[in-house]
Homo-oligomer: A and B are copies of this chain.
Amino acid sequence: MEENSNQCAAESAAIPLNMEGESNDGEERDPESISLSQPLLRRNRTLSSSPLAIVGAKVSYIESLDYEINENDLFKHDWRSRSKVQVLQYIFLKWILAFLVGLLTGIIATLINLAVENIAGYKLLAAVSFIQKERYLMGFIHLAGANLLLTTFASILCVCFAPTAAGPGIPEIKAYLNGVDTPNMFGATTMIVKIIGSIGAVSAGLDLGKEGPLVHIGSCIASLLGQGGPDNHRIKWRWLRYFNNDRDRRDLITCGAASGVCAAFRAPVGGVLFAFEEVATWWRSALLWRTFFSTAIVVVVLRTFIEICNSGGCGLFGKGGLIMFDVSTVTVTYHMMDIIPVVVIGIIGGVLGSLYNFFLHKILRLYNLINQKGKVHKLLLSLSVSLFTSACLYGLPFLVECTPCDSSLAESVCPTNEGSGNFKQFNCPDGHYNDLATLLLATNDDAVRNIFSTTTSTEYHPISLLIFFALYCILGLFTFGIAVPTGLFLPIILMGSAYGRMLGIAMKSYTSIDQGLFAVLGAASLMAGSMRMTVSLCVIFLELTNNLLLLPITMIVLLIAKTVGDSFNPSIYEIILHLKGLPFLDAHPEPWMRNLTVGELADAKLPVVTLRGIEKVERIVEVLRNTTHNGFPVIDDGVVPPVGLAVGATEVHGLILRAHLVHVLKKKWFQREKRRTEEWEVREKFTWVELAEREGKIEEVAVTSEEMEMYVDLHPLTNTTPYTVMESMSVAKAMVLFRQLGLRHLLIVPKYVAAGVPPVVGILTRQDLIAYNILNAFPHLTKATSREKGN
């Protein structure tokens, strides 16, 4: 595990590196040709691209996914011969996998919850018992020690075994569903570390949630199920072969992400919508239905466990039903005048959210510098954050005064020393409670529950809320980047609810809205201000709080907060994606992309490498060894022309994938003479199940010099229906096509028809369509862009 890669290179993904990646299709390493074409094209750099990104704090190679259906002869034959039974097997398996994703995500989420509630609960109870005996130092040592231990445990796991398990994982899932594969992201080790690490980190009282990690865990489960187990021990079940393609994996991982959100918030509809609005790039109504099925299963599992735990067999876990932060007991009454506080919450939430994004960006850059220095530095960073957190959580409640219990509440409610109760006694005399301890000396879930508590308008002092808010702003910024599984949802909810409740106190005399609801609205506004979701957040909050009458207000708050936030900076996930250097294709092309044609883009790249329909082995080996491209256009020269055409036409036969060429070389499917093969010949040698495997490497292939002189008929293995654009197509429209159809390669065909015109003038990949890379090769566009902005 090298930690010393250049972080800056990965951050700015287009700075030329000394290694060329898979995505540079259509380029050859000939620096001469670059300098030759320069003066003609008013540019000083070629369109180059880097296949590197930061994956789990480590710079790694990334690969593009291919959602296009590879219609070659073998596929077509298989597809024609696929019996009805096989089609049914496939459909059945799709639903079984969706079922299993839901089932396992639900079970794992419950287990995590159980573990966290018990570990954190006993830890807090022990600390409280010292406090009751007024042995304050021992209490601190106990609490801080336990927290340090748990953090060390989580951090060592992440640092040593699965660096990709650190962080929320949602940006990488987003990238995966956009078509960018990051290595080791969905493996078994990552999943196990994420589960255990998440338990440790959340129990350690750090300011992070298990929500983001649960989304990642759900996706890992989906990915592992789809490929039949961990990389080394895959089940070779025949049915699973249908799933060995990027499309079905993508759909399954979408299900997994939705299940994860559902398990985190017990919000089935919210989970589906989160996957749709935030995570997924491609969506079909069939997928809507399948993700919905998965989340329904998750809810049934959660519901079953709740029923089991309600009988008391789960330790400190088990109180509470399906709704996490129920505020339905309070009746929402509001009038036209209440629009003012609602608008105020929305605006402040938007501003705070974008500020949070801004500062988090800065701190993540700083942390990247620290993380580069090695494992020990990473570990020390985590431990110091943990120590700071413990000190604040334990020490700050001593600063505030005790509050006498409200006599209108029942004796048993106040004060309490239980793990999850409201009105914590802490260091106060009987009949009094410490309001800051109520918020700080609890698990994060309980803290949210306490701050959302309704019809308790005098529970919290403004000062305590201010301290709480300030503390969680600091912790929220400094905790996110450490090397443990971290989620963003809960920290933001905590921050937002604190400021919402403060606002509620400030506006007490103007409005009849309950302060608990103010806290809910504050949390929603900060979420929208930072994450910029609308419908999914709205439904998640509805399902979290079970107060339908709050819905109209929540909608307005979310809309305002998102609008305000958007006017400052992009959403937090987009910031992280960019920081990691992942080549994410945006939904909208940049305006200046209309002024550039794909032909110009192709000219800026090195000439495209094509193969002939019947190609010499030597040439294939040479091409595979000397380029890193993943697809090669297959051209037939001097074909027998159709009626009415001149002799000597060239024909675009299609596109062949690198993996298939490697298969051909490995299986030595060579022939002495230059002839086209019959369909049965290729079917004898290859099955489409083999061709779906994409792991072969050219370095593993040995070809004798005699074989080098032989020929290969590439026709049956060529995808005869690649998508194409004419060279006069604008980059903007080509990008829309590329993204909408989920392509990996896009052929550029000439707009001229004449003898001697090359039938394929270029090939575009994801990296070529990333705005940053294009601007690097065409610097004059940057000027145009900035001029436009200056208008």
Interface residues of A (CB under 8 A from B): 69, 71, 76, 79-80, 83-84, 268-269, 272-273, 277, 283-286, 288-289, 292-293, 295-296, 299-300, 303-304, 307, 321-323, 328, 335-336, 534-535, 538-539, 542-543, 546, 548-549, 551-552, 555-556, 559, 562, 587, 591, 594-595, 597, 639, 641-642, 644-646, 648-654, 720-721, 723-726, 728-730, 733, 736-737, 740-741, 749-759, 788, 791
What are 12 A-B pairs at a CB distance below 8 A? Answer: A80-B595, A288-B535, A289-B559, A295-B555, A307-B335, A645-B752, A649-B753, A651-B751, A652-B728, A724-B749, A740-B740, A753-B758
Partner of A654, one of B80, B285, B555, B728: B728
Nearest 7 Cβ contacts at the A-B interface: A649-B754, A296-B555, A649-B752, A753-B759, A299-B552, A755-B755, A740-B740
CA of A724 to CA of B652, assembled, Å? 15
Q: Would you call A277 and B268 a contact (CB within 8 A)?
A: no
CA of A548 to CA of B548, assembled, Å? 9
Contact residues in B for A284 (Cβ distance below 8 Å)? 587
Contact residues in B for A749 (Cβ distance below 8 Å)? 724, 726, 749
CA of A591 to CA of B642, assembled, Å? 28
Partner of A548, one of B543, B556, B653, B759: B543
Q: Would you call B752 and A757 a contact (CB within 8 A)?
A: no
Q: Would you call A646 and B755 a contact (CB within 8 A)?
A: yes
Q: Would you call A737 and B755 a contact (CB within 8 A)?
A: no
Q: Would you call B728 and A299 a contact (CB within 8 A)?
A: no
Q: Would you call A724 and B721 a contact (CB within 8 A)?
A: no
**Contacts A639-B752, A646-B754, A755-B755 given; 9 further ones with Cβ under 8 A?**
A69-B733, A288-B535, A289-B559, A299-B555, A304-B336, A543-B551, A645-B752, A651-B751, A653-B751
Q: How far is the CB of A586 from chain B (nearest CB, A)?
A: 11
Q: Would you call B76 and A594 a contact (CB within 8 A)?
A: yes
Q: Would you call A754 and B648 a contact (CB within 8 A)?
A: yes
Contact residues in B for A289 (Cβ distance below 8 Å)? 534-535, 559, 562
Q: Would you call B594 and A71 a contact (CB within 8 A)?
A: yes
Q: How far is the CB of A784 from chain B (nearest CB, A)?
A: 9
For A71, the closest partner residue in chain B by CB is B730
Contact residues in B for A597 (Cβ distance below 8 Å)? 721
CA of A749 to CA of B753, assembled, Å? 10
Contact residues in B for A740 (Cβ distance below 8 Å)? 740-741
Contact residues in B for A755 (Cβ distance below 8 Å)? 646, 753-755
CA of A552 to CA of B307, assembled, Å? 14
Contact residues in B for A292 (Cβ distance below 8 Å)? 534-535, 538, 555, 559
Q: Would you call B652 and A726 a contact (CB within 8 A)?
A: yes
CA of A28 to CA of B557, assembled, Å? 58
Q: How far is the CB of A472 from chain B (nearest CB, A)?
A: 28
If A646-B754, A749-B749 touch, does A269 touch B303 (CB 8 Å cutoff)? no
Contact residues in B for A269 (Cβ distance below 8 Å)? 535, 538-539, 542, 551
Q: How far is the CB of A36 from chain B (nearest CB, A)?
A: 13
Q: How far is the CB of A537 from chain B (nearest CB, A)?
A: 10
Q: Would you call B646 and A756 a contact (CB within 8 A)?
A: yes
For A282, the closest partner residue in chain B by CB is B740
Contact residues in B for A295 (Cβ distance below 8 Å)? 555
CA of A288 to CA of B273, assembled, Å? 11
Q: How far is the CB of A407 from chain B (nearest CB, A)?
A: 30
CA of A457 to CA of B273, assembled, Å? 36
Q: How far is the CB of A336 from chain B (nearest CB, A)?
A: 7
Q: Would you call B559 and A293 a contact (CB within 8 A)?
A: yes
Contact residues in B for A534 (Cβ distance below 8 Å)? 288-289, 292
Q: Would you call B644 and A756 a contact (CB within 8 A)?
A: yes
CA of A753 to CA of B591, assembled, Å? 33
Contact residues in B for A79 (Cβ distance below 8 Å)? 591, 594
Contact residues in B for A750 (Cβ distance below 8 Å)? 753
Q: How far is the CB of A748 from chain B (nearest CB, A)?
A: 11
Contact residues in B for A753 (Cβ distance below 8 Å)? 649-652, 750, 753-755, 757-759
Q: Would you call B791 and A84 a contact (CB within 8 A)?
A: yes
Contact residues in B for A757 (Cβ distance below 8 Å)? 645, 649, 753
For A532, the closest partner residue in chain B by CB is B289
Q: Would you call A754 and B645 a contact (CB within 8 A)?
A: yes
Contact residues in B for A321 (Cβ distance below 8 Å)? 549
Q: Would you call B272 and A535 a contact (CB within 8 A)?
A: yes
Contact residues in B for A723 (Cβ distance below 8 Å)? 725, 729, 733, 737
For A79, the closest partner residue in chain B by CB is B594
Q: Would you call B721 and A729 a contact (CB within 8 A)?
A: yes
CA of A645 to CA of B591, assembled, Å? 33
CA of A652 to CA of B587, assembled, Å? 28
Contact residues in B for A328 (Cβ distance below 8 Å)? 328, 548
Q: How far is the CB of A547 from chain B (nearest CB, A)?
A: 9
Contact residues in B for A654 (Cβ distance below 8 Å)? 728
Contact residues in B for A562 (Cβ distance below 8 Å)? 289
Q: How far is the CB of A257 from chain B (nearest CB, A)?
A: 15
Q: How far is the CB of A762 from chain B (nearest CB, A)?
A: 14
If A307-B335, A555-B299, A646-B755 touch, does A71 touch B733 (CB 8 Å cutoff)? yes
CA of A591 to CA of B86, assembled, Å? 14
For A638, the closest partner residue in chain B by CB is B754
Q: How far is the CB of A693 from chain B (nearest CB, A)?
A: 23
If A71-B730, A288-B277, A650-B753 touch, does A559 touch B322 (CB 8 Å cutoff)? no
Counting chain B CB atoms within 10 Å of each CB, the highest count among A286, A591, A733 belongs to A733
CA of A528 to CA of B277, assembled, Å? 24
CA of A268 to CA of B756, assembled, Å? 60
Contact residues in B for A594 (Cβ distance below 8 Å)? 71, 76, 79
